[in-house]
Chains A and B, each alone.
Chain A
Amino acid sequence: MIRPHDSIIVQTLGRFLIPVVQIFGLYVLFFGQYGPGGGFVGGVILGTGMILSVLIFGHDASRSQYTKNVLHGDGVGMLIYAGVGGLCMIGGGEFLNYANLEIPGLETASRRSLGIVLTQIGVAIDVAVTAVSIVFSLSAEEIMEDSING
């Protein structure tokens, strides 16, 4: 069980740093098509921001049931990735051949670009949620009753 950190300096810095880290993670995620970065790194940075908030504000910082249910969503990223592949099959092509995504008004290359963005979002969600979930698994024993199942 991680308790909230006592020091006011750490808490204030955390309030300032966590949004910056999250914005940087999103930037890395979507900049991956133009420079270094991509879904995996972006997801790890997003997950690190959430881990930072868990370490500073403790497990119970967020009281809403919604954020706790998010932690069960490891599979959502996988679902997005495989779902894009399924959409390609529905469009009449091979699995994960983004050229067959059924989007009117886009040429083939732009469809493939869009497919890359969508699958990167899937990877990022999967990696971020898995990182936070591993931290929750490692950091306490009675989390299951206290925090996640609320």
Chain B
Amino acid sequence: MIFTFEIPLLLLMLVTAAGAILVKDLMSAVLLLGSYSFFLSLVWAWLGAVDVAFVEAVVGAGLATVLFLLTLFGTAPKDTRLRRPPPSLTTLIVFPLLGILLLYAASDIPGFGDPNSPANIHISPTYLERSFQDTHTPNVVTAVLMDYRSLDTMVETVVIFASGIACALLLRRHGK
């Protein structure tokens, strides 16, 4: 009953992610990656993280696809020809082991929505109870991001600023 939406979404994500890696043409890979981001945003929305879903849909499926496509238009056909060597022996041994390790660790993750999980008993209740009186902001996510954790958000903005500067410095070198 619970899995009505989750299983098809998970299958679609697996198919689009594998397709983005396996497909021969780079243009198709970019578009498949965009649709992967869109399905991922549906998963976020299904889990109740609407703000994250919004960002994923706008940035992952929209902006990143446009940037990838613009990069692709700037390349010559010989740069985009894909050669896929067969996976080495190390890859074949290490990655399944890593997967088994992750599956083993996953059994220790607290259940979804468990009120006694560490994430839900540390400081989240304080935010949920007091954010509206403190800041007059009904959206708790915004209150946490922009008020309680404002310095973090400022440094994230510095990161975006630095990425823009780095792109300009690296790519506009034909100017004086």
Shortest CB distance A26–B (Å)? 14
Asked if B151 and A38 make an inter-chain contact with CB atoms under 8 angstroms apart, the answer reads: no
What CA separation (Å) do A96 and B176 show in the bound complex? Answer: 39
Asked if A120 and B146 make an inter-chain contact with CB atoms under 8 angstroms apart, the answer reads: yes
Given contacts A40-B55, A133-B167, A142-B174, contact A47 B63 (CB under 8 A): yes
What CA separation (Å) do A112 and B157 show in the bound complex? Answer: 19
Q: How many A-B residue pairs have CB under 8 A?
A: 144
A-B residue pairs in contact (CB < 8 Å), sample of 17: A36-B53, A39-B146, A41-B58, A48-B66, A78-B157, A81-B157, A95-B151, A109-B133, A112-B137, A115-B146, A127-B160, A133-B167, A137-B170, A138-B74, A138-B167, A145-B174, A145-B176
Contacts A36-B53, A48-B58, A130-B163 aside, 9 further interface pairs with beta carbons under 8 A come to A35-B138, A85-B154, A96-B154, A116-B137, A129-B164, A135-B67, A138-B67, A143-B172, A144-B175
Given contacts A81-B157, A135-B67, contact A116 B143 (CB under 8 A): yes
Which one of B51, B146, B151, B175 contacts A145 once the chains associate, using CB atoms below 8 Å? Answer: B175
Chain B residues closer than 8 Å to A98, beta-carbon distance: 147, 150
Shortest CB distance B42–A (Å)? 14
**How many residues in B have their beta carbons less than 8 Å from beta carbons of A?**
47
Judge if A75 is at the interface, Cβ distance under 8 Å: yes
Asked if B167 and A149 make an inter-chain contact with CB atoms under 8 angstroms apart, the answer reads: no
Mostly helix, strand, loop or mixed at chain B's interface?
A: helix
Asked if A134 and B164 make an inter-chain contact with CB atoms under 8 angstroms apart, the answer reads: yes
The chain B residue with its CB closest to the CB of A31 is B139
What CA separation (Å) do A34 and B136 show in the bound complex? Answer: 10
Which one of A81, A135, A142 contacts B66 once the chains associate, using CB atoms below 8 Å? Answer: A135
The A-contacting residues of B in range 54-77, CB under 8 angstroms, are 54-55, 58-59, 62-63, 66-67, 70-71, 73-74
Q: Ordered nearest first, which 10 A-B pairs have the shortest CB separation? A: A144-B175, A130-B164, A36-B50, A137-B171, A113-B136, A112-B135, A96-B150, A116-B146, A137-B167, A109-B136
What CA separation (Å) do A119 and B59 show in the bound complex? Answer: 20
Chain B residues closer than 8 Å to A85, beta-carbon distance: 150, 154
Shortest CB distance A21–B (Å)? 11
Q: Which of B73, B146, B161 has the most CB of A within 10 A?
A: B146
Asked if A41 and B55 make an inter-chain contact with CB atoms under 8 angstroms apart, the answer reads: yes
The chain B residue with its CB closest to the CB of A52 is B66
Asked if A119 and B150 make an inter-chain contact with CB atoms under 8 angstroms apart, the answer reads: yes
What CA separation (Å) do A36 and B137 show in the bound complex? Answer: 12
What CA separation (Å) do A96 and B147 show in the bound complex? Answer: 8
Judge if B117 is at the interface, Cβ distance under 8 Å: no
